[in-house]
């Protein structure tokens, strides 16, 4: 058998750098109406496209979230999974085998499984998809993507999702570097703004759930200003209250920057195994560079906790003037990380007729 999937208790999923593949994420999503399921998958190295003499198998854990569309039908969602990554040529056939291996353990009324793939986007490796300034123009049309990804599959049953859920583009910082090197790799303006905030007397501290209202005030103002979808205050309280003992893999910190008693910027930093993620941020429009001081203190804190990677968790794919996240891209790029483009969401239908109807509704919304 090229791929096998066995049920596993969600709380027994092993620590991982991939935050959306942790028991913590399962608990958060359970409170949002998803049903978390844990699996241990065993995959043949041959299926992954490896050609070494001693092939054998690889094992890993997988978090799968079940979401009901209505009282009769549901779908399965895999946030930033699977973590096991095949060669580009074997991505489709691996997802096909995995989908069929998972199917017997999913509800009988499961319409499709959606993978929010964290793998590097295949078209981000090809020069023709970049402009003369080095900006990535994005992948080709969905049909072109599907033609390549379904290569070698038996059923030709993988479809690019109409939309993506988790961020497809992000900046990664290498925290194995010394602090001086991290500063050196930043853009001049970013370094200058960090120093300027310090001279102004901006103070950055960690706060507990008793300050959640102050956080939410900043967050609400920021979300409205940028026309972002809103979470409620209880959601952020749950982010803090649901965290693990760090020995189990996940620790959540709410950091806030204040000046003369006024909170100017705040963020949620989530430490998952060896990776830190800048999950949410908020700030006043004129924050005296507090957002720069906040990010820098967060990076240093992640290093102190033993993290080796820092995920900025969301950005525009390029510097296109029309992209709504262009300002976010410029801000995050200033900290010197490397831009990474993921494959995004892909669907494998089990019930094609119902899937086509769901997809049509998704496109029209």
CATH code: domain of residue 143 = 3.40.630.30
Write out the two tokens for 163.
Answer: 């939309």
What is the rounded CA–CA span in Å between residue 222 and residue 283?
Answer: 6
Residues 225 and 285 occupy one common structural domain? yes
d(CA 90, CA 98): 12
Last residue of a domain, one of 285, 307, 329: 307
pLDDT digits (tens, 9 = 90+) for 296-312: 999 999 999 999 999 99
Question: Does position 217 have pLDDT exceeding 90, yes or no?
Answer: yes
- Do 144 and 242 lie in a common domain? no
* pLDDT score recorded for residue 172: 97
Q: For residue 250, what pLDDT is reported?
A: 92
> Is there a single domain that holds both residue 101 and residue 202?
no
Residue 119 confidence class, pLDDT cut points 50, 70, 90: very high
The pLDDT value recorded for residue 324 is: 81
| Co-location of 204 and 289 in the same domain | yes
Q: Are residues 235 and 121 in the same domain?
A: no
Residue 98: pLDDT band with limits 50, 70, 90: very high
* Residue 140 in this model has a pLDDT that exceeds 70: yes
Residue 222 contacts residue 283 (beta carbons within 8 Å): yes
Same domain (yes/no): 54, 99: yes
Q: Are residues 47 and 189 in the same domain?
A: no
Looking at the structure, tell me whether residues 40 and 86 fall in a common domain: yes
Question: How many domains does the chain fold into?
Answer: 2
Q: What is the mean pLDDT of residues 261-270?
A: 95
Q: Could you read off the pLDDT of 311-334 as tens digits, one per residue? A: 999 898 888 888 888 888 999 999
pTM: 0.94
Nearest partner of 328 among 171, 163, 118, 134, judged by Cα: 171
Residue 324 lies in a domain: no
- Do β-strands 275-283 and 309-311 pair in parallel, antiparallel, or remain unpaired? parallel
Same structural domain, 50 and 112: yes
DSSP single-letter state for residue 48: T
Q: Do 19 and 149 belong together in one domain?
A: yes
- What is d(CA 361, CA 170) in angstroms, rounded to the nearest whole number? 29
132 is a domain residue? yes
318 occurs within a structural domain = no
Is 148 domain-assigned?
yes
Q: Which domain holds residue 264?
A: 177-307
pLDDT recorded at residue 32: 93
Query: For residue 254, what is the DSSP state?
Result: E
Angle at 109 between CA 104 and CA 115, to 5 degrees: 70
Q: What is the pLDDT of residue 246?
A: 57
Q: CA 114, CA 112: separation in Å to the nearest integer? A: 7
Half-sphere exposure of 315 (CA within 13 A, CB side): 26
Examine the domain organization and report whether 135 and 246 are in the same domain: no
Pair (106, 43) in one structural domain: yes
Average pLDDT, the chain: 94
């Amino acid at each position: 058998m090229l791929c096998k999937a066995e049920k596993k208790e969600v709380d027994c999923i092993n620590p991982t750098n991939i935050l959306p593949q942790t028991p913590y994420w399962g608990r958060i999503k359970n409170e949002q109406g998803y049903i978390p399921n844990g699996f241990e998958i065993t995959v043949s190295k041959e299926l992954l496209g490896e050609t070494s003499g001693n092939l054998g198998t690889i094992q890993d854990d997988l978090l799968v979230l079940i979401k009901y569309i209505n009282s009769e039908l549901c779908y399965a969602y895999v946030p930033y999974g699977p973590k096991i990554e095949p060669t580009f040529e074997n991505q489709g056939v691996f997802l096909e085998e995995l989908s069929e291996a998972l199917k017997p353990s999913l509800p009988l009324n499961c319409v499709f499984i959606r993978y929010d793939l964290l793998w590097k986007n295949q078209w981000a490796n090809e020069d023709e998809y970049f402009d003369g300034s080095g900006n990535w123009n994005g992948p080709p049309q969905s049909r072109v993507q599907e033609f390549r990804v379904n290569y070698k599959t038996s059923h030709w049953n993988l479809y690019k999702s109409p939309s993506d859920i988790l961020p497809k583009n992000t900046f990664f910082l290498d925290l194995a570097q010394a602090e001086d090197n991290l500063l050196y790799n930043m853009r001049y303006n970013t370094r200058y703004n960090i120093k300027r905030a310090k001279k102004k007397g901006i103070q950055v501290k960690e706060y507990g759930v008793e300050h959640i209202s102050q956080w939410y005030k900043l967050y609400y103002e920021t979300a409205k200003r940028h026309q972002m979808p809103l979470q409620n205050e209880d959601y952020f309280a749950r982010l803090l209250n649901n965290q693990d003992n760090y020995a189990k893999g996940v620790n959540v910190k709410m950091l806030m920057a204040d000046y003369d008693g006024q909170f100017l910027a705040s963020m949620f930093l989530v430490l998952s195994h060896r990776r830190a993620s800048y999950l949410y941020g908020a700030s006043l429009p004129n924050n005296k560079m507090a957002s720069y001081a906040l990010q820098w203190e967060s990076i240093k804190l992640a290093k102190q906790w033993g993290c080796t990677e820092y995920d900025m968790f969301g950005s525009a794919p390029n510097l296109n003037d029309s992209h709504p996240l262009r300002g976010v891209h410029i801000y995050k790029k200033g900290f010197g990380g490397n831009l990474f483009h993921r494959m995004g969401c892909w669907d494998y239908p089990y019930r094609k007729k119902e899937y086509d109807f769901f997809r049509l509704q998704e496109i029209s919304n």
